[in-house]
Structure 1
Amino acid sequence: MRLSHAAIVWAFVTCLAVAAEPATVQSPDGKVAFSLSTNPDGPAFSLAMDGRPLLSDSPLGLLPTGSDPIGPGLQVTTSRVTDVDQVWTPVCGTASQIRDRHRLLQVDLAEPGTDGRAITILVRAYDDGIAFRYRVPVEAKEYKLDGERTAFRFAEDPKVWALPVKGFRTSYEGKYTVAPLSELGETLIGLPITLEMSGGKWMAITEAHLEDYAGLYLATSPQSPKTLLTRLSTRGKESAVVRAAPFETPWRVILLGRRAGDLIESQIVSNCNPPCAIEDAAWIKPGKVTWDWWPKWMVSGVEFNGGVNTATYLHYADFAAEAGFPYLLIDEGWSWWETRPGNDGKMTRVTDITRAVKDVDLPAIIEHCHKKGVRVWLWLTWSHCDAQMAEAFPLYEKWGIAGVKVDFMNRDDQWMVNWYHKVAREAAKHHLMVDMHGAYKPTGISRTWPNMLTFEGVMGLECCKWSSDITPQHNVTLPFTRMLAGPMDYTPGGFNCLPPDRFKPRDSAPFVMGTRCHQLAQYVVYYSPLQMCVDYPEEYRGAVGFEFLRWVPTTWDESRVIDGYPGKYVLLARRKGNEWYV
């Protein structure tokens, strides 16, 4: 990822002693307008597109632990607007080059008096949305936050596609509720949320550059049914955020469009993240991977039983080489374990991710894969990864392991967010790519750490093993909701397809609902640089459509949404080189 062109033009700077007039900024095309005003209750913002109000008098500010909110009494001291226009090249992406063109509004605010607290609000106005964040100056060695005053007050009652969650411990694997905002009832909502408004306007809310901070959620307001409040992920009763000042919060991102498909084309989330931190990223190679766990180690026509054993992995490796897939994923069950008495006398399971169980000859598998031109990924639980990272990651590099799939985090409090960044850094040191499962939504970290190839954070095809919720309707909702946040490891590719009235969940060699064309289309529509091919070798060999699965790319030079509507259909075209995939 390197900066290929940059032109930053200072348009104008205005300095205001005390601003009675709102601080405003418009997008480069003048169609999106953001306005920040102050009143006794605190700063608030309004947002309009094409002259149509979308949000009005939406509160801004922070909620420090143990002190009054930062908001009421704040006054604008200075403001300025800057024009930014630059182009950068991602290591992996939906486009070979990404333009970051926006107008940046910086508003400095302070409480009256020499001891008054201060914050800065930064706003980026894009042609397809806005993003804003708070900058906290040096005020204390340690700064604690319970939350934010940030809220979104809609000018009307929009139709929403919302992901209700039961709490902050969540894997984001759920069904979307579709209803007017006022009818959602009291609920906590995982991001992104997508909204349809009158006049053909579309909006989605999410966040970008989540680092050393707590994940953002939205909550409905019983007192104001057309308002969404913000909540920060916490562990127990502790402060949501504890860190040294100065610091900047994540960006609060509002994607805008005149069609639902415009939201999919947006690059705001990536643009709001820092540039690549890896000096030489040539070792990061996207591609497809054959997966043992989804079909439950199914094999047929062979003289051994499928399972967590060397023969099964060699079989899957041979298939990967035959199909031209660069990777084999060895999932749950490979690492050594035993039960021992714990300190409390109860038996506890002890795992070692630096060696394999006796039925898995990992060195032989890796050597066989190397001869076949296939590289191995290893599955880990996050707790085992955390306990042995310093030992395991250098060892995996020595073995020639391509990457790790890390699972079951299921939270996004500040500690866990920082742990994601630790994994990214340590994995990059040892040339390991990463697939996060049991994960929170992506927030653009893949721009900074492109070895973080993909993230689950979605109710994907694995649920066909135990649920009937993976319907075609659900699948054509995801591009307009979860996929707006970034790479999505939905794990497509089931070939044993049935119509909804005949579908039944099963654990081994699962069925999938819909058609094979529906499955193949997911390789174009769903963006994931590491793309799973979930079925077992004998289900694929000679099957109609398998040739397409073999050569469809996993990264793209250009992407265009032709048409679509959440839950109904999506028509999307992506280009790789001179070839378009529709």
Structure 2
Amino acid sequence: MNKNFYSACLVALLMLLGTPTGNAKTLQVVSPDSHIKVSITVNDDVTYAVDYHGKPLLAPSRIDLLTRQTPSFTQSAVVKNIARREIDRVLSPEVKVKSQSIRDHFNELSVSFESGKHITFRVFNDGLAYRFSTDVDERLVVTGELAEFNFAGQAQVYFAEEESFYSHNERSYTVTPASEISDSQLGSLPGLVKTDAGNVLLTETALRDYAGMWLSGTGNNALKGTFPRLPTKTEMGAPPWEDRNQPVTERADYIAETTGSRDFPWRILAVASSDSDLLTNQLSYQLAEPSKIADTSWIKPGKVAWDWYNANNIHGVDFKAGLNTETYKYYIDFAADYGIEYVILDEGWYPLGDLMGSVDGFDVPEIIAYAKQKGVGIILWATWLTLYEQFEEAMDRFASLGAVGIKPDFFQRDDQEMVNFYWKIAEAAAERNLLVDFHGAYKPAGLRRTYPNVITREGVKGLEWNKWSDESTPEHNTTLPFIRMVAGPMDYTPGAMSNAVGPAAFEAVTYNGKDENHKDFAIRFNRPMSQTTRVHQMAMFTVFESPLQMMADSPTRYREESESAGFIAKVPTVWDETIPLHGKIGDYVAVARRAGDNWFVGAMNDEHPRTLPLSLDFLPEGRFDIVIFQDGINADRWAEDYKVIEKNVDRSTVLDMTLAPGGGYTARIVPHND
């Protein structure tokens, strides 16, 4: 199969001219393996229903695009033609998040109306998607979009509930019956729904010049899409956040004003029989717009020594640690010594509110020059609002300084205006050969394929939450790969070397009449710790996908824990192959990933101890050397306890791996050299 183009393209067209409105027509399109069947009914409205392995998954659900010019997309419309095709091709991602190639195999059905409007369905073996398209001369004002998800059986929703559309999208997932989610509740994407027929993950891609989709309930066994309307008035954030916060105080009565000839975003329903199957789903990438960057050779994935999480708490040096040149040279020396590709200059490298200014004692040109001598790239942080206000001159300054990337932060919106600013940043950064790591961001929705320099993004409740809360739990960590990570890379920022058994994992005891459930983990802003074992944190570098992967703890701590840090530094950030080993959402996850001839395995556990078999049958023939970091026998009491196992193995080897509460294991497997 040719990786660069279609290996097969079977196209069959069925033309049905002049089908009148009121003459209901039901059409079907199935997945290539025939396990997913989508039934579309075109009448005065359009509905679709989904069967999975012969069981009803989605009951008839309406879809519609409402514009000021045409209140309903389909009402009183005449079907002009119906086209079908099958595509089977191989995609080669510019940035190999899960694999070096993706089989893109689907059956497609497109319904075109005489009004110049179209609806297209694509059905894959692991899900389906639909989108609207228009081909009209006038600009469109989209007043609403109808996206119903009526589940055929009782549905349990992993719901990321939000307070408003103004959000960092950093939420925990609560499991709630769909029937108990009201239309006043708001949840961000992606969302996962469990039904008797299978898992359905809802998300979107190819989000461009449009508002992002969110979810709300109906009071029944259903969800529906909802969208932030275009802002008409904002207010400045209260000090000291006036350089980054811009809450919306008034909105228009429409969600987008856009060109009349375009494709709208894909609505994705990723479908899986098992939780583990979600770990390899790549529909968000497959359905996105292809890359607009001709030469992507300068886009280099790698790890980043990060400063903000650890509050620059280095020690054992003869200078004052902080926001100064000496401290960042220390970070650069650490990165160079451990083979880490990048160092980030987070908040404090410029006087807040002025990206063109300088800070006393912080010589950014000298830091970047020093980093280049050491073979380390520098990434610069910025608030989105200051970047917006100084855009062209700021982007030029990033490039002239010699930075290799930027980390714009605090967006907190995905209305049409803000979505367009993401695209503007991505394009301008690509023109200057700059990587982009969006923070305070909405979920990945296709931009990373169109502009592969958008190498990762936040939009996830990550490690930093341990600085001010106890919500970044092992259960949360073992939920993310099955929901948030399906949408795309997530900058969780792993790697804590200060580890404690968290509140949920520690055996509750009473001492002198007081509950001592929190006796190990403590919330500490400047010297944070994880609620997991050491090995759980190390395993994140294999389990969590981010081509730009942060090492969050202090370089001093990493040097003190050089055995752990040395292992982490050798874990790649992009992969040629991904194989799920075990997975149950919110309980445990284990994956094997290949980079070249080397394999890495990562496993993460929730708050309950368990044993999982590690079968190495994914290996090719031959002998291999394995190095395993496993929870120590006392890791349930002292979370930094671990042991290292080294063995000679082959594909017939099966190991029983014991995982402590909040624990895990991680391994590196390399061909044996005789």
TM-score, normalised to structure 1, is: 0.93
Pair 1:146-2:140 in alignment? no
- SS of structure 2 residue aligned to 1:255: strand
Per the TM alignment, residue 67 of structure 1 is displaced from its structure 2 partner at its CA by 5.5
Q: 2:25 aligns with which of 21, 24, 27?
A: 21
Quote the Cα distance in structure 2 between the aligned partners of 1:168 and 1:507.
27
Whole-Å separation in 2 of the counterparts to 1:409 and 1:20:
45
**Structure 1 stretch displaced more, 27-36 or 101-110:** 101-110
Equivalence for 2:226 = 231
Residue in structure 2 matched with residue 180 of structure 1 by the alignment: 177
Pick the aligned partner of 1:509 from 527, 532, 536.
Answer: 527
AA in 2 matched with 1:478: L
Task: Name the CA distance, whole Å, in 2 between partners of 1:142 and 1:56.
Answer: 34
Q: Does 1:367 align with 2:369?
A: yes
- What is the CA–CA distance in structure 2 between the aligned matches of 1:546 and 1:9, rounded to whole Å? 48
Instruction: Map Cα deviations across residues 472-525 of structure 1 (whole Å, 9 max, x no partner).
Output: 000001111111110100000011000013211111121110101110111111
Quote the Cα distance in structure 1 between the aligned partners of 2:315 and 2:584: 41
CA contact (8 A) 1:553 1:576 kept: yes
Instruction: Tell me if the contact between 1:63 and 1:148 (Cα under 8 Å) persists in the aligned partners.
Output: yes
Q: CA deviation at 1:104?
A: 1.2
1:348 corresponds to: none
Contact in 2 for aligned 1:61/1:70 (Cα 8 Å): yes
Q: Residues of 2 paired with 1:546 and 1:333: CA distance?
A: 26
Q: Which one-letter code corresponds to 1:129 in the other structure?
A: G
> What secondary structure is seen at the aligned counterpart in 2 of 1:383?
helix
Structure 1: gaps (5+ residues): 111-116, 338-350
Query: Equivalent of 2:163, from 161, 166, 174?
Result: 166
Partner of 2:236: none
Deviation per CA, 1:276-322, whole angstroms, max 9, x where unpaired?
A: 11111111101001011111111111122221111111111111111
Task: After superposition, give the CA deviation of every residue in 1:178-203 in whole Å (9 maximum; x if it has no partner).
Answer: 1221123441111111111114x111
2:651 is aligned to none
Residue 10 of structure 1 deviates from its aligned partner by: 3.4
Match of 1:346 in 2: none
> Is the Cα–Cα contact under 8 Å of residues 194 and 204 in structure 1 kept in the other structure?
yes
Q: CA deviation at 1:97?
A: 1.1
State the alpha-carbon separation in 2 of the partners of residues 531 and 261 from structure 1: 23
State the distance in 2 between where 1:389 and 1:380 align.
11
Q: Is the 8 A contact 1:509 1:536 kept in 2?
A: no
Q: 2:190 aligns to what? A: 192
Q: Say if 1:562 and 1:572, in contact at 8 Å, map to a contact too.
A: yes
CA shift digits 1:519-578 (9 cap, x unpaired)? 011111110000000100121114142221110000000112122111111111111111
Matches within 5 A, 1:76-225: 76-92=79-95, 93-109=97-113, 117=115, 119-138=117-136, 141-185=138-182, 186-199=184-197, 201-222=198-219, 225=220
Describe the shift of the 1:65–1:21 C-alpha distance in structure 2 as closer, same or farther (beyond 3 A): closer
CA distance in 2, matches of 1:88, 1:396: 32
AA aligned to 1:264 is: L
Q: Between the two proteins, what is the percent identity of the paired residues?
A: 37
Which residue, 44, 58, 62 being the options, matches 1:59?
62
Offset, 1:38: 2.5
3-state SS in 2 of match to 1:60: strand
1:98-147 C-alpha deviation (Å, 9 max, x unpaired):
1211111111235xxxxxx4521011110000010001220x52211122
Pairs aligned (count): 557
Q: Which amino acid aligns with 1:54?
A: L
Residue 193 of structure 1 contacts residue 206 of structure 1 at CA under 8 Å; is this kept in 2? yes
Instruction: Show CA shifts across 1:346-370 (max 9, x none).
Output: xxxxx32134201201121111111
What SS does structure 2 have at the residue aligned with 1:415? helix
CA positional deviation for 1:385: 1.3
Match of 1:243 among 258, 282, 304: 258
1:188 alignment partner AA: L
Q: CA deviation at 1:396?
A: 2.2
Which letter maps to 1:16? L
- What displacement does 1:21 show? 3.5
The one of 484, 487, 494 equivalent to 1:485 is 487
Name the SS for the 2:525 alignment partner.
coil
Measure how far apart 1:226 and its partner are: 1.0
Q: Return the match for 1:255 from 270, 294, 311.
A: 270
Which stretch shows the higher mean deviation, 58-67 or 240-249? 58-67
Structure 1 residue ranges (4+ consecutive) displaced by more than 6 angstroms after TM superposition: none
Amino acid at match of 1:528: S
- Tell me the distance in 1 between the aligned counterparts of 2:592 and 2:77: 47
- 2: CA distance between counterparts of 1:304 and 1:542? 19
State how far apart, in whole Å, the 2-side matches of 1:65 and 1:407 are. 34
Contact 2:6 2:89 in 1 (8 A): yes
- SS of match in other structure, 2:545: coil
Q: Please show how residues 392-407 of structure 1 align to structure 2 within 5 Å.
A: 392-407=394-409
Distance 2:104 2:349 in 1: 44
Aligned CA-pair RMSD: 1.6
Q: Is the 8 A contact 1:109 1:118 kept in 2?
A: yes
Query: Which residue, 305, 309, 314 being the options, matches 1:299?
Result: 314
Amino acid at match of 2:38: F
Where relative contact order (Cα < 8 A, 6+ residues apart) is larger, the structure is 1
1:70 is matched with which residue: 73, 78, 88?
73
Alpha-carbon offset, residue 153 of structure 1: 0.7
Instruction: Map 1:410-449 onto structure 2 (within 5 A).
Output: 410-449=412-451
Residues 1:561 and 2:565 are matched in the alignment: no
Q: CA deviation at 1:218?
A: 1.2
- The SS at the match of 2:422 is helix
Say which of 461, 465, 468 aligns to 1:466: 468
- Deviation, 1:75, is 4.8
TM-superposed CA distance for 1:8, in Å, is 4.8
Residue pair 1:206, 1:254 contacting (<8 A) in 2 also: yes
Q: Is 1:533 the equivalent of 2:551?
A: yes
